[in-house]
Amino acid sequence: MKQMEVGVTVSFVNTTNNFVACYGSGRLHFNLFRLGHKWFEQGLTEEVDRLLIHEFGHQYSGDHLSEELALSKPESFQEIRA
């Protein structure tokens, strides 16, 4: 399923800046300094999903307080069942 309809370029940075990942303008950056190599070795987890959902949410809203995405595209959110 294609949700954002944009190409995404992924890169890995190693910086002491205070972020674990950031997304904007089709670019997703993971900060190895903050995440560490073990974070990537764990495979797909709920923690990984949460980070990706958070970062890709910036495609629709640049700030961390906006309800714009949930209100304008409620079909993008599905209940997750174990």
Give the sheet arrangement for strand 27-31, strand by strand: 9-13, 27-31, 21-24
Predicted pLDDT of residue 66: 52
Contact assessment for residue 21 and residue 35, using Cβ atoms and an 8 Å cutoff: yes
**Residue 70 phi/psi, 5° resolution?**
-60, -35
- Tens digit of pLDDT per residue, the chain (82 long)? 356 788 899 999 999 999 999 998 889 999 999 999 999 999 999 999 889 888 888 887 666 555 555 555 555 545 444 3
For residue 59, what is the DSSP state? T
pLDDT at 62: 60
> Which residue type occupies 7?
G
Please give the model's pTM, rounded to 2 decimal places: 0.69
The residue ranges of every structural domain in the chain are: 9-76
